[in-house]
Structure 1
Amino acid sequence: MSFIEEARRAQIIASAIEVLASVGFAKASLAAIAKHAGISKGVISYHFAGKDELMEEIVNQIYTKIAEHVVARLEGQTTAVGMLRTHILSVAEHMRDHRSQIQALGEIFHNLRDAEGRPRYGAHTNEEVYQAVEHIYRFGQSTGEFRAFDLRIMAVTHSSAVDAMFAYWAVTPGHDLDAHARELADFFERAAT
């Protein structure tokens, strides 16, 4: 892809996020997204096969940015407790300035369906997230920082708590996301040790 094509795709994705966050999935038509971006609907169709592909690319890009931010913050952490706390706090730190992305993800997760009508995203698509969180807990168990527990149960619970934190923050504008993340980090540190 050329630089211009990448820039156009980024513009379309940014507009789609804003439209999803402001009017919801059902009203976030390609025409509405094109209008917000100041382009024709045909330009979107040139870059994306349809709304579903655009929605999937939004999810991929947001998750990639989150992962890049978290991995950068995890560098230099030498303890499992430090890794655990950094994971939770850095996800919140990154998303604090991206409320519309959280709202857009919520719209996509609740509305996008596969060819059989099942939700496109959910626990069945979280394997990479679960494995990344399990890695932190496994490391803690290997160093003796963490007690014995089922890694998958802890990873699913951890991931679900982070998702719920963002879901609540997305619909409660005055909610203190950083305080919530600190409480979560405290909670999971106590649960693991």
Structure 2
Amino acid sequence: MAATIATIAELGFRQASFARIAERAGLSSTRLISYHFDGKDELIGQAMSTIYGDLAAFMGQRVGAQSTPGAAVDAYIRSLAEYISEHRDEMRAATEIFLNFQPEGGTTAREVAIDVSAFSHLERLLTWGQEAGEFGEFNVRVAAMAIQRSLDGLPFLLEGDPEADLGTYAEELSALFNRAIAA
């Protein structure tokens, strides 16, 4: 998977052929890839599963260690920004896949983008905060979407400004959203 992700990150989705991936992985033949994956769709799907599985584990440790809703939302924002900053190849590959991948009969990037279940974890944190009296009254879905979409833009920011300090962005986003959701 590492060779697939690195190839897509470096060359872009459209140029990441089995031949290029095999070359990067040091494989003598593309048949070794074909043996394990039933075509490019399955390979790309596994690459995305690898990236998002790693991201979920990274964030889950940090968010799960918090004992208050405010600290959990703060950890959510900061850990996602930290992951994006520290895993630029993975985020570049995920962005390339998201923007260019059209699986045969599968889920498109547009369908993923409008899938509201993607906000469910953040919605649960915000609901927890409201029920605990730590957060004010607001529409949880709107707040979750605003938080998530502001973070979703960070990989695009890095494409235009590779030197951007995502720690500073995380600090500002956390302060902004903490003010917005406070009781």
Same fold, TM exceeding 0.5? yes
Alpha-carbon offset, residue 74 of structure 1: 2.1
Matches within 5 A, 1:19-168: 19-39=7-27, 40-115=29-104, 119-120=108-109, 122-125=112-115, 127=117, 129-168=118-157
Q: 1:124 is aligned with what amino acid?
A: I
Unpaired stretches in structure 2, ≥5 consecutive residues: none
The aligned residue for residue 161 of structure 2 is 172
Aligned residues: 180
Alpha-carbon offset, residue 82 of structure 1: 0.4
**Alignment check: 8 A CA contact 2:85 2:166 kept:** yes
Unpaired stretches in structure 1, ≥5 consecutive residues: 1-12
Consecutive aligned runs of 4 or more in structure 1 exceeding 4 Å deviation: none
- Match of 1:83, SS state, is helix
Q: 1:123 is aligned with what amino acid?
A: A
Q: Greater CA deviation, 27-36 or 87-96? A: 87-96
**Alignment check: 8 A CA contact 2:22 2:30 kept:** yes
RMSD: 1.7
- CA deviation string 1:113-142 (max 9, x = no partner): 133697345323451x31001011001100
Identity %: 34
TM-score, scaled relative to structure 1: 0.87
